[in-house]
Amino acid sequence: MSGPADPDLSAAFARPDWLLRLNAVARDLAPHPDRLVPLSPESLLEAAAANTELDDFGSDDFREPLAVLCRSLAEESEATLMGQLLARGDLLNLLENRARLVAARAQIPAVAEESVAQPIFIVGLPRSGTSILHELLARDPRLRAPLSWEAHSPCPSPGDLAAGPGVRDPDWERACIERADNIFTFWNELVPAYATMHEMGARIPCECIWLTAHSFRSEEFLGRNRVPSYGAWLAGADLGPAYAIHRELLELLQWQRPTERWLLKAPSHMMALPALFAEYPDARIIQTHRDPVQIMGSSVNLLRALCWMRSESADPELIKASFAGEGLAARLFAALDFRDTPGAPAGAFQDVRFADLMADPLAAVARI
């Protein structure tokens, strides 16, 4: 938490006075913020086990990325006290969900028998219309998009699952929705300008990175935190475990509330199409297209606002390296190269131009 706030961001994304005072006091009290807010894997696992009364977190393939992420948060993030608190909350939530997921699948073998057939994935560069298209297609009653509150709280406690398939405790659901809405409202209080950039809400469809984050192999952490060494690790990581837990979470959500077909979305899928099709061979892909020059500034500003909620510094050059210029080109060519490979699924892709979607949304949907 060293160093003064970024003056450029202070002007663009003014923080409320109470937050400035809180972070200032924390800088004076604790030169080593991890002494106030522990972020070691050991402390997180111990707390998650205590909170859930469960100690089985599933396959150990999450432990290496969790350790890399925690180290990057401690050494590189320049997190404020609020940033440390938010990061610990995120990681605890994911670990608790993992433990509950393992318990649910052990308690109810039928969860693993759910069929996730021909899921539809929307992919495209950030700010290329993926969110608009996701929400528009989700209006079709035959399709189901995971909602933000479901990604944050996908797993009831073992006792709450006893009611059987297709039954959710309405009190539990209301509490989960309220908790998620409180989080998003708080984000907007930390950086009020964020609300003008991207709508958030408990009942709004979420990106798949919220699901893959349970593997600790997800771009979700890059969007929220300044963690370059974790980003470097993720760039070369096996993403198989991310899509495996993605499916397990969909199976549990589908067991709770049956659906005909899943509608999913994340720009990050562009870099992971081989892993996606390895897990979902019958997947269908809708790829949005927009001039990258028109979206770079918007993408960088959005990610800087997210990072500014938690850090004393949100280096635009660091963000541009992954989410603008060459970073966007790498995503685009990764998807195009996969589509050109001889083994790419024939007929699995549908292209949508952003300009066409904006000019006549219903006609664009009809073509899809």
| Mean pLDDT over the full length of the chain | 87
Tell me how far apart the alpha carbons of residues 221 and 242 are, in angstroms, rounded to a whole number.
Answer: 13
Entry pTM: 0.89
Tell me how far apart the alpha carbons of residues 172 and 160 are, in angstroms, rounded to a whole number.
Answer: 9
Tell me how far apart the alpha carbons of residues 134 and 198 are, in angstroms, rounded to a whole number.
Answer: 14
Q: Which residue has the higher pLDDT, 260 or 63?
A: 63
Give the model's pLDDT for residue 189: 80
Indicate if the pLDDT at residue 315 is higher than 80. Answer: no
- Local structure of 284: helix, strand or coil: strand
Give the residue-averaged pLDDT of 239-251: 98
Q: Are 191 and 13 in contact (CB under 8 A)?
A: yes
Per residue in 100-115, pLDDT (tens digit) is 999 999 999 999 999 9
Confidence tier at 1 by pLDDT (50, 70, 90): very low
Per residue in 66-96, pLDDT (tens digit) is 999 999 999 988 888 888 999 999 999 999 9
Sign of CA dihedral 90, 235, 278, 268: positive
What domains are there in the chain, each with its CATH number? Answer: 7-367 (3.40.50.300)
- Local structure of 327: helix, strand or coil: helix
Give the model's pLDDT for residue 343: 79
Q: Which among 28, 46, 27 is positioned nearest to 84, based on CA atoms?
A: 27
Indicate if the pLDDT at residue 3 is higher than 50. Answer: no
DSSP string, 80-119: -HHHHHHHHHHHHHHHHHHHHHHHHHHH-GGGGG----S-
Indicate if the pLDDT at residue 10 is higher than 60. Answer: no
Q: Are 201 and 148 in contact (CB under 8 A)?
A: yes
Tell me how far apart the alpha carbons of residues 328 and 325 are, in angstroms, rounded to a whole number.
Answer: 5
Give the model's pLDDT for residue 321: 66
